[in-house]
Structures are given as C-alpha cells and as structure tokens.
Chains A and B, each alone.
Chain A
Amino acid sequence: MNTSADDRRPVVQDAAQLRYAALLDRLTWVGLVMLIGSFVLYVSGWLPSYLPPQRLVELWTLPVSEFVARSGMPTGWAWLGLAHRADMSGLLGIAVLAGCSVPCLLALVPSCLRRGDRAMAWLCVAEAAVVVVAASGLIQAGH
C-alpha cells in the first residue's frame, strides 16, 4: 500500500509550503480587518456612502446589469476612485482577500527556480496570471 501508515517519525513540511502558509495567513488577516473595519464605517454612517443603505434595499432585487444602470454603481476598478465612500471602501478588503493568493504564489517562484523545480515555478506563475487577468476587468459578462 503506497498510502501507508508509517512509524512515528517527525514530519517537516516543504519550506515553500510553509512560506506560502505564513504569507497567506498575514494577508488574509489584513483583508479581514479591512473588510470588517470598512463595514463598521459603512453601517454606522461615520463615512458617507455612494449608495445609501435605504436606496440599496430598493435595488438589490434587480439583476446586476439593471442594478448598475439604475444606481450608477461603478464597475471594473472604477470603485477605487470612490474608496473614500464607506460602501466602496468595503471593496478594498474584498479585493485583498480575492487577490492575496497572487503575491503568495509569486513569492515562491525564485526559490522554485533555484531548486530547479521549473514545473512548480511555472504553475505558480500561470495561476497568478489567471487571477490577475480575471481581476483586470478585461473579462466582461452581461445578461
């Protein structure tokens, strides 16, 4: 049996895996803190919002294309220019969470290349590239 229960010997995980875990841990916490902080600012009304909650409730039953047309909500990265608004600042934390795998993957590439692990390096770059292309806003859909 190749998947076997061996003797009780100490196990140390691959250094690249541990480095990836450490960076991912830090970035996830940054994203979560940003997410919760901005949400508190949003619901407390301490910062003005682009679309007030009372208006949002009236529109969130609509398909996204109609919602955007009627609310004037920005699409793509246009929200970044409105990040001083409470509801838009919430997207910053979301963007950090959705993008945090990219620096983690790219951080592994130099050490993979040094060890001659080209397949792993290529996979890291390819996966990061796919997320970056998706994040770029070049890919659009619609009803």
Chain B
Amino acid sequence: MLAGAAAQAAGAGPDPGTPWWVWPLALFFACFLMGIVAVPAGIGGGTLFVPIVGSFFPFHIDFVRGAGLLVALASALAASPVLLRSGLASLRLALPLALLASVSSIGGALLGLAMPDRLVQGLLGGLVLAIVGLMLVARRAEFPQVDQPDALSQALRLHGVFVDGATGRTVSWQVHRTPLGMLAFLGIGVLAGMFGIGAGWANVPVLNLLMGAPVKVAAGTSGLVLSQASSAAWVYLNQGAVLPMIAVPSIVGMMAGARIGARLLNVLRASVVRRLVIAVLLFAGTRALLKALAIWP
C-alpha cells in the first residue's frame, strides 16, 4: 500500500482516495531506510531527503525543503553533544564557519522560496547530479598535512586534539587556508538554504581537503555547523513551509534509521550501500530535471 502510494505520487499524482495516514507512515519508513543507508554510504540523511521525497511523494517542493532542513538539523543536534565531548567536533572551528553559513543560508532560503518551482526542480536536479559526481571522484585524507596554520586560524586558535578510536592514539590537528574555507562555507550556506538539503557532502571536503582537518574532525564539525546554522529553517518556518505532518515522521524515521545504520556499519558492505545510494540519487536527480522540463511531471 505504501509503495503503491509513493508510486502514484511519482506518477500521475496522489489518488484522492488514499487515506491521509498513509503519507506520514510512508514517510517514516522511507526516512527510516534513508537513515540506515546514510551512515554506511558516508552521506548525511538530509542530503538524501529532499531529492528522494521531492521525487516520490506528492508534497510541494516548498514543504519538502522545509522538512529537509529540519531533518538535517535534528540529526546534527542529536549527534553533536557526543562528538563535542570526544573532540571529533570542534566548537572553535565550527563557529566562524557556521556564522557565515547561517547568514548566507538566509539569502539562499529567500532566493529558493522566491524562485519558480520548475527552476528550483531544475537546479536541484543539477545539484544532486553534481553531488553524485563528487561522491564518485572525491577522495579523503585521514590526516592531511598542515605545515603552517594561517594567521586567521592562529588568531581564532582553530586547533584541537582527539583520541582516534581506531588506533587509540592521541591526534592533534590544526587548519590552514581559513579565509578560503570561510568563503566556501558562504557558498555552501546559499545552496543549503535554497534547496533545504543537508550540506555534509560539501562541508566535509572543504574542512578535510581544503582546510586540512582530519577526516573524522571534518565529519564531526560538519554536523556541528549544521546544528548551529538553523537560520534557513526559521525562514521556512516563518513562511508556513514547515508542516509537522511531513517534518515529524521524517525526523523520527531518519534518526531511528541512523541508529540502526550505525550499528550495521560493520555488517553491511559500505561499498555496496554507497553504490546503491549513488544509483538512487542519480535517479532522483534525473527525475528532478525531467520534472523541471515537464517531461515527467
């Protein structure tokens, strides 16, 4: 019944005879599955939410983006305290980046809500296909070489220390190219606000490959930035684009799935899950583009 409802929504639109409770239930299960695969695939659930729910559910993209921001926010909020205590997220590193991402995400949200639907769908499709490309080519550096921190990084004391769980060793780190990283977060904030999409796919490479944070610190701090940069969610909330009927089952499903996904991390073959996620995103991105071109409305 749930699959049938989603298939209807992806095709000719929802059947008016479908009981209302089918939708929150279908959302819960869809987000539960997304939460499970998000962890082994190394991508935030918020990144999967907007393209998949936007493609296969009947809700207008405005409500999907509003819920997407909250899914990303709630997941980040739930994880941040643990990551902060272990040193895998750095408050000092997150703050300047979150400040810029917050400001620009307001602009992104205003732009996104003012744009015609088909333009949003087209740009979203392009962005999702770009994320797929990034997932295919991006490499990560576990402990990037940072010979000399830049002046801004030194002034803000952007460095830290954590115990690597894999080796049990204490790792100290510092970052460089801080102004460039801050500029990148300005752009990431615009995209996050415009499309309601979690920004971990962009945050982690910038923190890790550009600024030189160890990959675990980059992943943890990326979540912390998401948890602090909630301004775009407020823009959607104030516009009336956040519906509890869509947002709550999505948040609960995604968080429950992520807990299972984290436990299955050692059981599931991450490369297989990652390929599956790439295939689904490829389909969802293409669907968004076809929606924009009115080929598959």
Contact surface of A with B, Cβ cutoff 8 Å: 1-9, 11, 13-14, 16-18, 20-22, 24-25, 28, 31-32, 35-36, 38-39, 42-43, 53-54, 56-58, 60-64, 67-68, 73-77, 87, 90-91, 93-95, 97-101, 105, 119-120, 123-124, 126-127, 130-131, 133-135, 137, 139-143
Contact = CB atoms under 8 A, between A and B. Distances in A.
A13 to B, nearest CB: 5
A17 B84 contact: yes
A56 B58 CA distance: 12
Contacts of B290: none
A39 B244 contact: yes
Nearest to A130: B102
B187 interface: no
A32 B231 contact: no
B145 A67 contact: no
Say whether chain B's binding surface is mostly helix, strand, loop, or mixed: helix
Nearest to B114: A141
B78 interface: yes
B239 A3 contact: no
Please indicate which of the listed interface residues A11, A99, A100 has the most CB atoms of chain B within 10 Å of its own CB: A11
Contacts of B170: 5-9, 11
Nearest to B236: A64
A141 B239 contact: yes
16 contacts: A6-B171, A17-B84, A32-B78, A36-B248, A61-B59, A64-B113, A64-B241, A67-B63, A87-B245, A99-B230, A123-B95, A123-B96, A127-B102, A130-B102, A130-B103, A139-B110
B63 A3 contact: no
Interface of B: 13-14, 16, 18, 20-21, 23-24, 58-60, 62-63, 66, 70, 73-74, 77-78, 80-82, 84-87, 90-92, 95-96, 98-99, 102-103, 106, 109-114, 116-117, 143-149, 155-156, 161-164, 167-174, 212, 214, 227-228, 230-235, 237-249, 251-252
A143 B155 CA distance: 43
A72 B86 CA distance: 47
Contacts of A43: 21, 24, 245
Given A11-B163, A53-B21, A130-B103, A3 B234 contact: no
Nearest to A69: B240
Given A7-B169, A140-B239, A141-B239, 12 more contacts: A3-B171, A11-B87, A11-B170, A21-B82, A57-B20, A64-B62, A87-B243, A94-B70, A123-B156, A130-B103, A135-B231, A135-B238
Contacts of A17: 84, 90-92
Given A3-B214, A11-B170, A60-B60, A18 B85 contact: yes
